[in-house]
Amino acid sequence: MNPPRTAVVTITHRRDDHLHGQRLGLVACPPDLHVVVGMDDTPELRDVTGAAPVLTEALSGHGGGLPLARARNLGAARALDAGADLLVFLDVDCVPGPRLVASYGDAAARVRSPALLCGPVAYLPPPPAGGYALDRLDAPVHPARPAPQPGELLAETRFELFWSLSFAVTAATWTSLDGFCEDYAGYGAEDTDFALSSRAAGAGLYWVGGAEAYHQYHPPTRLDPARAPEIVRNATTFRRRHGHWPMRDWLRDLARGGVVEFDPDRDLLRLVAAKPF
């Protein structure tokens, strides 16, 4: 059997340095195609010796927040149009480990039923002078997620642990799902919505050992007050679709900062009006 034709899908907005780091990392585990979708941005593609062929797309959020869900769906559509059998979604901040693409391909061959395949992600500290040494990346994986050993597949029932930083689906699985719900715009909740909708459609969830990625440092987006309106909007959309509030820790952090009022017992979430000077 021929190995699957693999496409990595990356969406980005003004992350040219991180995109370059990711493309350098992909040289060690090259896919057949790299689809890059710029959101309100034209990504800079610097020269990378040995890089996979790149297909670029552009998408506007029309002032309503970055179109994360739409961008992932567009990237997947372009990859499928190009003949991809396996879609690997990789956050622009993530540098793949040297076995990431191969490990996802192996997992896809072993899991015959529709499934979301997730790899462990480690969070890097701020880069030293001169940047990260991509051939010597080392950091503990996120403590709230499983970290199976290379070659190990770990079935997961807690779909709320799914994240869009690094995951893979076969073309058949993707086409059996509805993609990311495009009611979401901006930051937050669209990936949990995708996971729960995928579960409802009959997909499984697995953690894939060996598919490690390394998240390049940036300040936490969720703590940016400018993101609060879109987080509130997306949380409200999720509540309407699924009957409960998502990302409660984030919402409580924003509430402690006086940015929102959040009381799940009263089913209340709203922005707090800024006080005039």
CA pair distance 15, 61, nearest whole angstrom: 16
Task: Tell me whether strands 115-118 and 54-59 are parallel, antiparallel or unpaired.
Answer: unpaired
Domain with CATH 3.90.550.10 in the chain: 6-218
pLDDT of residue 277: 37
pLDDT of residue 154: 98
CATH of 6-218, one of 1.10.357.10, 3.90.550.10, 3.20.20.70, 3.40.50.720: 3.90.550.10
Residue among 46, 34, 25 nearest 7 (CA): 34
Alpha helices, DSSP H, located in the chain: 16-26, 68-81, 100-110, 171-176, 190-200, 228-242, 248-256
pLDDT of residue 36: 98
The dihedral built from the CA positions of residue 197, 240, 219 and 14, taken in this order, carries a sign that is positive
| Residues 6+ positions from 180 with CB-CB distance below 8 Å | 68, 69, 70, 72, 73, 190, 191, 193, 194
pLDDT of residue 75: 98
* Residue ranges of the chain whose pLDDT lies below 50: 276-277
pLDDT of residue 85: 97
pLDDT of residue 183: 96
pLDDT of residue 107: 98
pLDDT of residue 225: 78
With H, G, I as helix, E, B as strand and everything else as coil, classify residue 99: coil
Q: Which two tokens stand for residue 247?
A: 């990302």
pTM: 0.94
pLDDT of residue 61: 84
